[in-house]
A and B are shown apart, each in its own frame.
Chain A
Amino acid sequence: MLATRALRLVGKRAISTSVCVRGGHGVAKVEDYTLPAYFDRRENPLPEIRYVQTLSPEQASLKEKEKGSWAALSNEEKIALYRISFKESFAEMTQGSAEWKSIVAGMFFLVGFTGLIVLWQRKYVYGPVPHTFEAEYKEKELQRVLDMRMNPVEGFASKWDYENKQWKK
């Protein structure tokens, strides 16, 4: 009995047809996310519902005029009708923002800050490097690497010209 009455209301579109009617036990709560929603999406150009749901009297009379010949509508009226149906135009919804500038600025700042931390670490945290990093030692190492013909095919020693005692051009 209750279900029949509820169904008649549904038939009159007084309540949304996405309502779940539980036989004899009443109607389940209607959640917002189950109802058709408005959205502005480039890949889905036609939203499910109009943007402006409750029309003001001028908008309502404009909608009546829309039922007639469209050639009789002025440009402002056409734009007003568009704004009733849609929130943003294609150009407005696809435009970018200036957010990238603040992102890049933040990125540079953090990189600089990391650099400061690294410099501080090198001065105050780490001990001295081994003596094998001294320039004189590195020269002797380089000489030894070349004398031993390390990687002579395509690697290190292959880049040294042994006849003229210099790097190959």
Chain B
Amino acid sequence: MAHPSQLGFQDAASPVMEELLHFHDHALMVVLLISAFVLYIIVAMISTKLTNKYVLDSQEIEIIWTVLPAVILILIALPSLRILYLMDEINSPLLTIKAVGHQWYWSYEYTDYEDLGFDSYMIPTQDLLPGQFRLLEADHRMVIPVEAPIRVLVSADDVLHSWAVPSLGIKMDAVPGRLNQTAFIATRPGIFYGQCSEICGANHSFMPIVVEAVPLEHFENWSSRMLEDA
């Protein structure tokens, strides 16, 4: 999760998020350089002592400031498209989970082998155990095996929601009547928090997503226990 007054992204927990981090660094650097350059030009124009400031015609600079932005845009577009196609590559997920948004909780269904389904409600502030994160904790987490390709089918039961986990680099709209597919690999074990990202009513800010990546044996133990409890 993010710490207070954090400015940058959370550390990546999936390969796609790593790529996005690096691309963001690249695009931000381009933007910073252009902004610094423009700021310099503005200051120079305002503080000049020259009187003849109206140049009417110059072919060379016109060529430069047409070609150079086109080149810069290509330099941004190529990595961007690379990541876009990377995200759509054929992977063979080991596990398919359905994440369904309701007003105002998420429900997860693991139906590959057995019929496991449960709801995930936010833990209210007054019920938090000492040290738990306000508005982020849920009573049941979506547990997944670490380093396994996972497919998530996102949908909704009533209104639009959005299933987002920033450290995995995922955001997928939950549309009623539609199945949206996204996939990821958790590269390190841990707990990854996210929040509903599409306005869905009064408690839109109070339906968090918690993904817990654990080693495979732990995942098997957890799913057996959940099936018994159900």
Contact = CB atoms under 8 A, between A and B. Distances in A.
Q: Which of B1, B12, B130 has the most CB of A within 10 A?
A: B130
B131 A143 contact: yes
B10 interface: yes
Main SS of chain A's interface residues? loop
Given A151-B10, A151-B11, A152-B11, A132 B128 contact: yes
A148 B128 contact: no
- The dominant DSSP class at the B interface is loop
Contacts of B126: 131
Contacts of B6: 155
Nearest to A145: B3
B3 A144 contact: no
B134 A130 contact: yes
Contacts of A155: 3, 6, 10-11
A145 B191 CA distance: 10
A141 B133 contact: yes
A140 interface: yes
A156 interface: yes
B51 interface: yes
A76 interface: no
A152 B189 CA distance: 11
A52 interface: no
Nearest to B49: A94
Most buried by B among A42, A130, A132, A148: A132
A45 B51 contact: yes
Interface string A148-160: 1111111110100
A140 B11 contact: no
A144 B197 CA distance: 26
Interface in A113-159: 130-132, 136-137, 140-141, 143-145, 148-156, 158
Contacts of A42: 51
Given A42-B51, A43-B53, A153 B132 contact: no
Interface of B: 1, 3, 6, 10-12, 51-54, 125-126, 128, 130-134, 167, 188, 190-191
